[in-house]
A and B are shown apart, each in its own frame.
Chain A
Amino acid sequence: MNHDAYDDNYIRSILNNVKSIAMVGASPVNVRPSYFAFKYLAQRGYDMIPVNPGHVGKALMGKPFVASLADIDRPIDTIDIFRNSSHIMPVVDEALKLSPLPKVIWMQLGARDDAAAEKAEAAGLKVVMNRCPKIEYGRLSSEISWMGVNSRTLSSKRAPIPTQGMRLSLNRTSFGGGQTAASDRAAKNKTETT
C-alpha cells in the first residue's frame, strides 16, 4: 500500500463499508478538530464511539466516553486515531488485541506511523494515514465543494440534498490518485526531510 497517495477507490470502499467508528482521542471541547469530525460522521449515519480516558462519565452527542478500546461492548469496524504520530503504536497494539479484529486503522490528518501501519496490515487490517475521514467523506460526496475544495470528482447526476443521518453517495467519477499531484509531492518531501 502506498501511504503517500491513496487511490480514491480505496478510501471510498472503506467509507462505504464501515458502520462503526471508535474515535481515540475524541474531545468534548467544541473547537477541537476531533469534535467536528465526530459530529459530522455521526450526522452522516456512522455509529460513533468516543474513546478518551480523561472524559469518562461525559458524553459526546449523547454517546458516552469509554476509557479504552477494550471497554467497548460491541465489535467495531474502524479505529480513528486522533493522536499525534508518537502515540499511534500503543493504540494499534491495543486494537490488535480486540476480538473480533477491527477492519480499518485510520490515523488523522498530520498523524503517520509507518511501523504501526505495517503491523496492522500484517494482521489483515486496512490502514489510512494522515487523512481526515470528515474531509474525505465530504470530498468524495462533493459536499465539501461548498467550501471551494477540489473534490477531484465529477458527476452528471443531480446532487443530493443532505439531511441529518443521511449517507451521501460517494460513487462519483474520481480523477487523480490520493491528493492532488502537488500535495502528494509536498507530503513526500516532508516525510523525507523529517
Chain B
Amino acid sequence: MTDRLPGFSTLAVHAGAQPDPTTGARATPIYQTTSFVFNDADHAASLFGLQAFGNIYTRIGNPTNAVLEERVAALEGGTAALAVASGHAAQLVVLQQLLRPGDEIIAARKLYGGSINQFTHAFKAFGWNVAWADPDDVASFDQAVTPHTKAIFIESIANPAGSVTDIEAIAAVARKAGVPLIVDNTLASPYLIKPIDHGADIVVHSLTKFLGGHGNSLGGIIVDAGTFDWSKDNKYPMLSEPRPEYHGIRIQETFGNFAFAIACRVLGLRDLGPALSPFNAFMILTGIETLPLRMQKHCDNAKAVAEFLSTHPAVSAVNYAGLPGDRYNALQRKYAPKGAGAVFTFSLKGGYDAGVNLVSNLKLFSHLANVGDTRSLVIHPASTTHSQLDDAAKVKSGAAPEVVRLSIGIEDKEDLIADLDQALRA
C-alpha cells in the first residue's frame, strides 16, 4: 500500500465519506437528529470534556456535517474544518476566536457587499474595529498594522468585480505582523485556488455558492490550515489560555495543528449557535462531488461571455481577469490558471438606467442576489446589494452605477450570449 496523493476529483467524491457503519449505505446518510445517546456516564463525561471523539448534539457536531467538513478540509489542504449555517456565520465564528473588544482587523476594501456591512456595522457593535486596505496596493495593508491588529481578511477572487488578489504578498504582511491571514475563497473554490498553498492560515467559504453550486442550500465553512502558532505572543487567549468552559484545558496545547477548527466548534459554534442543518450538509456534499466538472464549465462559459461583451457596442468595459488585457490577468494566470471564475462585472455606456433595463430585458438570466448557481444570474449592484453604500464607497468596492454583475452558469454558452445580445439591443 503506497501513499499517493489522489487527484482533486477523487477527493471531491470520496474525502470524508465511507459506507455507513450500521447499514452499509453508500451515499452519506442525512443524520437528521438533534442529539446522540451516550454509552454510559463515563462516555458522556469524556465527550463533554473533549477527551473522546464523538457526537453529542447537532449544534456542536453531526456525522453528515462531519463528512462535509473533512471533504472541504481535504480539498483545501487544511488540517480540519467546521461547517456552519452560512458564509456570514463562518466569518462571525472565526473572528470571535481572534478578537476582543478594542481589537482590529484589516480587511480588503474589495469584499462582498454583505461582508462590508457585517464588518462595518455588526462587528463594530462588538467593539471589533475594521481598518480597510486596498488589495491592489499591498503596502496599504502593511501601513494599517497596529498593536491591536489581530487578523487580515481578504477574498481570493473578490465579489463583485472578479478581481484576483495577490494572496502571497498579503500573506507576507500577515506573517510580518504576526497575525493570521483569513481568505474568503468563495468565488474561486479550491478547484481554482487553494489559498493555503499561498500562505493563508484560515480559509472561509460561503458554501451557498459554487461548492454547493445549485442555488438550493445556505451554508458556510471554516478551514484551519494548521499553520499558525496561536500561543506565541499570548495574543489569542481563546486558543492559548486555560478555558474555564472546559475545566481549564488549553485548546492549542491539546489539539495541536487543528486547534483553530476545534476552538471554532467548541467555543464558537457551541456558544453562538449558527449550526448547519444536516439536510443542507447533504445537499452541499452532493454538489461538491461535481465541483471540478461544474467549475471548469462555469469558467469556460464565463470567458466566452466576457469575450462577447468586450466587443459589444453597448458595453464600455468588461472586468474579467481571464481576458488578456485585464489588469488582473497576470494574477489570474499565477493564482487561478484553470480559469478566472464565473463572477464578473461589466459597464454599460448607458449608465444606471441601462443597467436597470438590461436586468429587466434578460430572459434566461435570473435577476437575483446570489452567485455560483448552475443557472446564470444577473444583478445591478448599485440598485441592490451595494445600495446601502454611498457613491464613493460603491465605486471603491467595484459597484459603480453603470456596473452590472453576472454569475455565469453551466448552460450552453451560445444561449447565454444570445440572451445578453437581445437584452442589450432591446
Contact = CB atoms under 8 A, between A and B. Distances in A.
Interface of A: 7-9, 30-33, 35-36, 39-40, 109-110, 132, 135, 138, 142-152, 154-161, 164, 171, 173-177, 179-183, 185-187, 190
Contacts of A30: 49, 51, 247
Q: Determine which residue in A7, A35, A36, A146 has the highest number of CB atoms from chain B within 10 A of its CB, and name it.
A: A146
A186 B256 contact: no
Contacts of B119: none
A182 B246 contact: no
B392 interface: no
Contacts of B66: 145-148
A109 B256 contact: yes
Given A7-B3, A30-B247, A176-B5, A148 B55 contact: no
Give the 4 A-B residue pairs with the shortest CB-CB distance, closest first: A148-B69, A183-B226, A186-B227, A150-B73
Q: Determine which residue in B46, B54, B227, B265 has the highest number of CB atoms from chain A within 10 A of its CB, and name it.
A: B227
Q: Determine which residue in B4, B53, B262 has the highest number of CB atoms from chain A within 10 A of its CB, and name it.
A: B53
A145 B66 CA distance: 7
B16 A145 contact: yes
B6 interface: yes
Query: Interface size class for chain B?
Result: 35 or more
B120 interface: no
A64 B74 CA distance: 41
Contact of A9 (B3, B53, B256): B3
A42 to B, nearest CB: 12
A175 to B, nearest CB: 5
A159 B227 contact: no
Contact of B49 (A31, A177, A182): A31
22 contacts: A36-B51, A143-B53, A145-B66, A145-B67, A146-B55, A147-B53, A147-B258, A147-B261, A149-B79, A150-B80, A151-B70, A154-B14, A156-B18, A161-B21, A174-B1, A179-B226, A179-B257, A180-B78, A180-B196, A182-B77, A182-B227, A186-B228
A156 B6 CA distance: 14
B285 interface: no
A186 B24 CA distance: 39
A40 B43 CA distance: 11
A31 B247 contact: yes
Interface string B9-30: 0110011101111101000000
Contacts of A109: 253, 256
Interface of B: 1, 3-6, 10-11, 14-16, 18-22, 24, 39, 46, 49-55, 61, 63, 65-67, 69-70, 73-74, 77-83, 196-197, 225-229, 246-249, 253-258, 261-262, 265
B176 to A, nearest CB: 13
Contacts of B78: 150, 180, 182
B80 A8 contact: no
A55 to B, nearest CB: 18
A146 B54 contact: yes
Contact of A132 (B22, B54, B256, B265): B256
B18 to A, nearest CB: 5
Nearest to A173: B1
Q: Determine which residue in A154, A157, A174 has the highest number of CB atoms from chain B within 10 A of its CB, and name it.
A: A154
Contact of B70 (A31, A150, A186): A150
Contacts of B79: 149-150, 179-180, 183
Contact of A174 (B3, B81, B229): B3
Given A40-B51, A145-B70, A156-B18, A182 B247 contact: no
Q: Determine which residue in A135, A152, A181, A182 has the highest number of CB atoms from chain B within 10 A of its CB, and name it.
A: A182
B43 to A, nearest CB: 9
A144 B227 contact: no
Given A39-B46, A158-B21, A183 B54 contact: no
